[in-house]
Structure 1
Amino acid sequence: MLYVNQSQTNITAGPQYQGLLEILVFSMMSIVPCCVFLFINITMLFTLRSKAVFRETSRFILLSNLLFADTVQMAMSQILYLMAILRVRLTYPVCGVLAMLADLTNEISPLTLVVMSLERYVAVCFPLRHTTIITMRNTAVAIFVVWAFGSLNILTRVILLLDFPFEDLESLQMKEFCAKVNILLGQMSVLYDKGYTYFLFVSAGVAIICSYIGVMIAARSASTDKASAQKARNTLLLHLLQLVLSLSSTIQNPLLTAFSKVLDRETLVRIQLYLYVFIIIFPRCLSSLIYGIRDRTIRLVFVKHLCCQWRRSRFQ
């Protein structure tokens, strides 16, 4: 996947920031929203562990898995972004570990969204069999399969990297900033990355759209709970929006490359920062906002914990 690490390519490698003040400004403009969204996500994770009903309900377990992956991805993206701003260069092995971890957590989001969409489809279309199909055991198996599938992709990337002639490099020290595109050494790695990205998002999109169509068809049935079907449709649309926002991160680098030909450096850096916050960081917090505000089961507990932690942090 081509996520925030793309923003640390030739576009950010070229400009040399003028002075400590400029570095501090751009760092704070990304750190502040990232810290706010991390605070919200961590509060939601704490909320989902605070009551037994959340720990024993499949859709909340899946939400916890999604939030965990998004939170780790957000933190890793911010670390790599700050390294680029501070012009920190790593060795290929260290950068590879960081980039692969960020890539793994980035893949978990669309895969988990697919499982969550299928769970909503079963809840609406097969309400009488929902409790027998969506069990704690099946949910655990689904989460294991999601992480195993993502790990298999990472393993494949590592195997492809082993074919690269590292002995031809002058040094293992990277000349560019740590970014996924800078460790795709070899044409096979590049082709595999593009193919896997297209396959993942197309498959996830088809699964969510089919679930939405199934829910719409079921909603016309007289035996279906209209309110439940309407809520499920809205949730699936939001899942599709999350998937589109995740996919939009893959076109961030081509957009910046095109803008760099017609815009000055200062405007380009500002656009890059806005894209990073709204395309990379904000979608990672969207799940907390969707379930924390829309779901009545969790809304009161989430708001209570959010307010209490906010007051505690201000007091400290």
Structure 2
Amino acid sequence: MLNLTEQPANATSHKSLSVVIKVCLVIPFFCVFLCCIAVMLHIFASHRQFLDTSRYILFAYMLVNDALQLLTSVLLFLLVMGQVKFAIAYCVPLMFISTATFQNTPLILATMSLERYVAIVYPLQCPASWRPDRIWIIILSLWCFSCVFPIIDYSIGKPDMAVDALVSPQLCKTEVINSSPNQSLLRAAVYVLCFTVVAVLILFTYVRILLETRKLRQDRVSVCRAMHTVLLHGVQLLLCMLAYTLPITETLVLHADWQQEDIAFFNYFCFVLIPRFLSPLIYGFRDQKLRGYIGKGLLRCSKKVEPWS
């Protein structure tokens, strides 16, 4: 009888420790990310010259999008970890924003790659849609396209008929809203399609940029900067597209006899949280102009902090 009572207690203690470790891993990353986002957005708001360049406008849009994505995803993560239950009607908006912004990030990075391609190949004849005063049209198109998949996903979903969407408390998870195998297959197909389209787009733009930079051998500085931009955009997009491998990683990790919640956390931390944390840092701190303003801002903040008496 003693062994029977000790086993559930040990299991509960192990689960509680696992929850604490997961939360302690996610929260510091999230707080540092928000601080970096706040500093960069403050720079954009304080120095209007950045908003006269399409590249910086797209980067600012990426910062806002990733901030929304992580705000909603971390909130959903904490709600699940705390076993907080509420009506599905309040869960769907959070899931919708999280899914739409998740889909939007690689599209933004691919658009930023296209913007570099246009700037290098057509430096004197930039198309009207890529000018700073018209770039909002592309941004709006990206956002609308990103909302298409969650709208379709939640529209054709078939939640449990015994659950009242306005009253019955449930954990806010995708499986609760729609656990149909057909929906999982559709989700995997969308991931593969997006991965393929973005990869082909990257390959096309990068090859064209590399071919164009070879014609500029007389300007070694411009060639080096273009090569570095191409390389760093490739790293950013590679990090972001790792999130599309979630169905594959779930299948592979299942063979390691992990718990389902541990698999979900591993995928979230490695393929959603870290790439979106590194992507703006790689782009922001690499940029010479932004790096200078960030350094000045941090120095100004450190001077305002008074030492303890």
Q: Normalising by the residue count of structure 2, what TM-score does the alignment of the two structures yield? A: 0.81
Q: Match of 1:130, SS?
A: coil
User: Cα–Cα, structure 1 residues 46 and 165, in superposed 2: closer, same or farther, change >3 Å?
Assistant: closer
Query: Alpha carbons of 1:275 and 1:165: their partners in 2 closer, same or farther (altered >3 Å)?
Result: closer
How far apart are the structure 2 equivalents of 1:246 and 1:182?
A: 26
Q: Deviations over 1:91-140 (max 9, x none)?
A: 32222221111011111111111211111011111222238663123311
List gaps (5 residues or longer) in structure 2: 1-10
What letter corresponds to residue 141 of structure 1 in structure 2? I
Cα contact 1:201–1:243 (8 A) shared by 2: no
**Structure 2 residue 59 is matched with structure 1 residue 66:** no
Q: Residue in 2 aligned with 1:294? A: 286
User: 2:4: which partner in 1?
Assistant: none
Q: Tell me the amino acid that sits aligned with residue 289 of structure 1.
A: L
Alignment of 1:158-307 (within 5 A): 158-161=154-157, 164=158, 166=160, 168-172=161-165, 173=168, 177-222=171-216, 225-252=219-246, 255=249, 258-259=252-253, 261-262=255-256, 269=262, 276-307=268-299
Q: Which has the larger radius of gyration?
A: 2
Q: Following the alignment from structure 1 to structure 2, what is the Cα–Cα distance between the partners of residues 261 and 25?
A: 23
Per-residue CA deviations over 1:159-216 (Å, capped at 9, x if unaligned) read 223xx265x32444465x4223442343553333222222222111211111100011
- How many Å apart are 1:293 and its aligned residue? 2.2
CA positional deviation for 1:260 = 5.1
- The total of aligned residue pairs comes to 296
- Aligned amino acid, residue 64 of structure 1: A
SS at match of 1:244: helix
Structure 2: distance between partners of 1:154 and 1:224? 49
After superposition, residues 140-151 of structure 1 pair within 5 angstroms as 140-151=136-147
Structure 2 partner of 1:3: none
Q: Would you identify which runs of 4 or more consecutive aligned residues in structure 1 move more than 6 Å?
A: 313-316
Change over 3 Å in CA distance of 1:151–1:310 after alignment to 2:
farther
Write the distance in 2 (CA, Å) between the matches of 1:25 and 1:191: 32
Structure 1 portions without partners, runs of 5+: 1-14
Query: 1:51, 1:99 → 2: CA distance?
Result: 34
Q: TM-score, normalised by structure 1?
A: 0.80
Q: Deviations over 1:257-306 (max 9, x none)?
A: 644554576xx94x865654443222212233223322112111122224
Kept in 2: contact 1:70–1:284 (CA 8 A): yes
Give the corresponding residue for 1:5: none
CA distance in 2, matches of 1:125, 1:155: 37
Asked if the contact 2:54/2:130 (under 8 Å) is kept, the reply is yes
Tell me whether 218-227 or 119-128 shows the greater mean CA deviation.
Answer: 218-227
Q: Kindly tell me: are residues 160 and 307 of structure 1, through their superposed partners in 2, closer, same or farther at Cα, counting changes over 3 Å?
A: farther
Question: Is the alpha carbon distance of 1:17 and 1:88 closer, same or farther for their aligned partners in structure 2, counting shifts above 3 Å?
Answer: farther
* Equivalent AA in structure 1 for residue 234 of structure 2: L
Amino-acid identity (%)? 26
Per-residue deviation, 1:219: 1.5
